[in-house]
Chain A
């Protein structure tokens, strides 16, 4: 599935386990990561609202995509109902805030915990079944939760949707793109670091063992059912936090945003980014968020003369997403993260091939 061997240059040997389990593979990667975060901290000062809006979308979806990658890429289970968890988080946060007056600052992590509980519940089948059957069970979960959103007016406001208050910190509302960008950035950094750390731990290795060969993992004393359910819970928690951030950004949550199509997009993100790659989750999300924008630009450039192109823009965007998933699976099944590693190694080792 994912790459077992990282493409390290020859001569770069690891002599102890501590060196082999650092968060960042090489010091250079660490510097680049820190530099990126610093650059992003400055971004609101010289980016316009359009770019910030896209960045916030990438951040919120990226958190949920990382959650899905934990369950699909690292544990090898298939989930087709991720958008439902994403939506549940958005509704739960709005509900906690509207109904009980919980400040948004606390409502977002609490919504993550609530979604985790739901994820654990829907993960129970994962303790028993796997592969294809699990995919179909999560598909059923998606439809059941979607139905629940439309029905439970006390929770979601039914078909009219729920209002979500803006994020406030010490009495100041962070409701502009500029300020909310920082909120999302903090969450992205914290949650991505948490996931990277998790994978260095005993539990993280157990998840990967379950993916690589579940029978061997069980023989080695790993509690299969527990780790499968745990991975579902974790992924739901990520989706819930991502959804809550998304809901408070839009200021309005409605069930239409969490259909099976969105679940498919989440899967597309991690496949395009790279299954079992943390940085890949973010790369894939960026690809998936930017693709419709690029399509829009392309239609604007070339499609002036044909009204069919402009009218069918929504369909063209969907087709592009479907096509991107298919093409990536056929030509680059390991995703953008792998492609990036190959490019990096190529330049690093030039003019030799290894």
Chain B
């Protein structure tokens, strides 16, 4: 048994897991406040990463300027998307809502492929040192930064929902849209803000992942990986999303370890979370922290 490999993989898993957690949080944010399941979450990462890449490489904008510009672009993008595409979907059956986001995902993935090509492009160097050794483990600087960013984002989410006026309005809307509306909360604004936040934070995660492994269409697979995480944690729980993300990250990497050491079946890394997903759905469909659906007649 190779212990150092195992520790390395688990540390990697935790770090990737926090990223999954951040993306899952964005997903849950949209689901909680607008009841829309966003299958295009992965494309937010993709669009954010490509935008940042284009700004830095094609237009030679320095990172400290290009990065905020990307985020500003994503705010506009998220709000526009909500107004143009998602708003007409309010009150439509769930299959329509799901299919609209799937259509969006397909459209943007192809659009990005058309503009930027299929090949992975390396992200320009942002940090001078590529690796740091910590407790005998090799960790990439971008990973450390991603860990810090993720934790900051999570703390930001917590503070935003706990103390800000908008956060309170969003929680109220998530709880009951009609009541929130009758209390004078603009549900339209809440929806737009939810999409904007989700797009921005996803783009942030996208840029972080791109720094490590380059920009390519593989980024959008994050959007699919989010499902095991959110189902595990519970669809409408932000804490659950973080915990679910961590578990999925660790699960993936331990599956990789088991696979490489004993089983040698290959590809267990990508498929293990889906087996976990099916099992959870059978045992506890509302997840670890989610609220159980109770229907009244």
Contacts and interface: CB of A to CB of B under 8 A. Distances in A.
A317 B92 CA distance: 27
B106 A321 contact: yes
B110 A319 contact: yes
A332 to B, nearest CB: 11
Interface residues of B, number: 43
A267 B110 CA distance: 18
Contact of A128 (B93, B277, B285): B285
Interface string A125-165: 10011011101110111011001001100000000000000
Given A125-B282, A322-B103, A78 B277 contact: no
Interface stretch (B8-16, B56-64, B128-136, B267-275): B267-275
Nearest to B92: A333
A67 interface: no
Given A144-B271, A215-B297, A319-B111, A136 B102 contact: no
Interface in B103-120: 103-111, 113-114
A264 B282 contact: no
Contacts of B100: 325-326, 329-330
Nearest to A129: B285
Contacts of A137: 277-278, 281
Interface residues of A, number: 43
Contact of A275 (B95, B270, B271, B278): B95
Given A128-B285, A312-B114, A319-B111, A326 B278 contact: no
Contact of A78 (B95, B113, B266): B95
B196 to A, nearest CB: 20
Nearest to A308: B114
A319 B104 CA distance: 9
Given A78-B98, A131-B94, A315-B111, A136 B277 contact: yes
Contact of A323 (B99, B103, B228, B271): B103
A82 to B, nearest CB: 13
Contact of A329 (B96, B106, B282): B96
Contacts of A139: 224, 227
Contacts of B267: 147, 150-151
A140 B297 contact: no
B185 to A, nearest CB: 25
B92 A140 contact: no
A333 B107 contact: no
